[in-house]
Chains A and B, each alone.
Chain A
Amino acid sequence: MVSTFAYKPGDHEAEKASNGYLMSLIAVIAGLPLPIINLIATFIFYLGNRKGTYFVRWHCTQALLSQFSLLAMNSVGFWWTVSIVFKDVEISNQYISYMITVFLFNLIEFIATIYTAIQTRKGIHISWWFYGDLTNAIVRK
């Protein structure tokens, strides 16, 4: 959802905010086998920019929050897979259904992240459904 931000961000701010999403994007790729990597990478970037301008902080927080739900979903998928490979758990319809669901949610997040990174780079403010509201409640001007 495109919405108006409190002020018009400068080019430098737009670049940093956009990098927040790119960071989480790279982390999603790198973190596919170990979902915690996503969160750690985005969190480090968030820490680095927590004293940045409002626009930068806002978008870094939105990127970080979106990683939490992925972490939960992907962790379950990861440990389920580990149990199948190394323990007595067998592949089942439940497992395949869960992995497809997780894949679909990761894909939606992935596309949304790319789109938001591009728009943010142009200085356009994108507020995600639910995550945008949550970010508004957390980040102070």
Chain B
Amino acid sequence: MEKLFLKLFIIVAIFFATLWCLRQVDWMTLFNVKKISQSTEEKLGELYWDIYRKMEHETEDKKITVPIDSLLTRICMKNEIDRAKVKLHIIRKDDINAFALPDHHLVLFTGLIEDCENEAELCGVIAHEMAHMENGHIMKKLIKEVGLSILISMTSGNASQDIAQNAIKVLSSTAYDRNLESDADITGADYLMKADIDPEAFAGFLYRMSSREKDYPKQLFWISTHPGSEERTKAIINYISDKNYQKKMVLDSTQWAQLLLSVKED
């Protein structure tokens, strides 16, 4: 019997010794794992945006895009995020919505901009979506909702337009996992504090949206895709309560007023 246990021990030891030896190799670099997933994301981002822009009307109005670009640039620069990789798109639509597509496509609706009471609120939404991008939530959501095999077939052009449209719908009008939302809230709050923007304004925005949800459920896409707003407001407030941060405006009051005016003119 002792001999039997000794042999079992040797087998287990061989298994772990093999594992240990293989662990010494940097397989991630060897197999280019990150590059492969990055190229899949790039292809999906390009494909989705091509389809989405045909469905909606993107505004090129400099009076709108320039101030929003300033807000985005501040968040990116202060958080060492490459601004050049973020593709900002402003869609003319009254719905209160913002979402991210793969490969750093950030989509904001004019309805959302119009509904923000100050730039910090808008920055909060931008930072939250940026957190989804930077933490890899978009691909995780797609894999979960659409399936890995379908995503791969899309990148090789083997999937139909309907399937791609369905994937866009998943990203633009369905909720993320609760854990991913909380993660994006906290990372977003960190981005805001580093960029000297008040994160409390974002918490306030969430609270305001949740209180209006019952009255205008259809227009408030962003809040219906980001459920549990009251608890999330509390979590953000708790998180920032013991943090020190500065509040510096990116746009002056005239620029902000001009932005709102341009959005309304549309």
Residues of A with Cβ closer than 8 Å to B?
69, 73, 85-86, 88, 90-94, 96-98, 100-101, 104-105, 129-130, 133-134, 137
Contacts and interface: CB of A to CB of B under 8 A. Distances in A.
Contacts of A73: 15
Q: What secondary structure prevails in chain A residues at the interface with B?
A: helix
B22 A97 contact: yes
Interface residues of B, number: 25
B28 A94 contact: no
28 contacts: A73-B15, A85-B143, A85-B148, A88-B179, A88-B180, A90-B136, A91-B33, A92-B28, A93-B26, A94-B23, A96-B27, A96-B28, A96-B31, A96-B33, A98-B19, A100-B22, A100-B27, A101-B22, A105-B15, A130-B4, A130-B7, A130-B8, A130-B10, A130-B11, A133-B3, A133-B4, A133-B7, A137-B1
Nearest to B143: A85
Contacts of B3: 133
Contacts of A91: 28, 33
Contacts of B248: none
Contacts of A134: 4
A78 to B, nearest CB: 15
A130 to B, nearest CB: 4
B25 interface: yes
B243 interface: no
B4 to A, nearest CB: 5
Interface in B134-172: 136, 140, 143-144, 148
A24 B19 CA distance: 25
B254 interface: no
B202 to A, nearest CB: 23
Given A85-B148, A93-B27, A96-B27, 16 more contacts: A69-B11, A73-B15, A88-B140, A91-B33, A92-B28, A93-B28, A94-B23, A96-B28, A97-B25, A98-B19, A101-B18, A101-B19, A101-B22, A105-B18, A130-B11, A133-B3
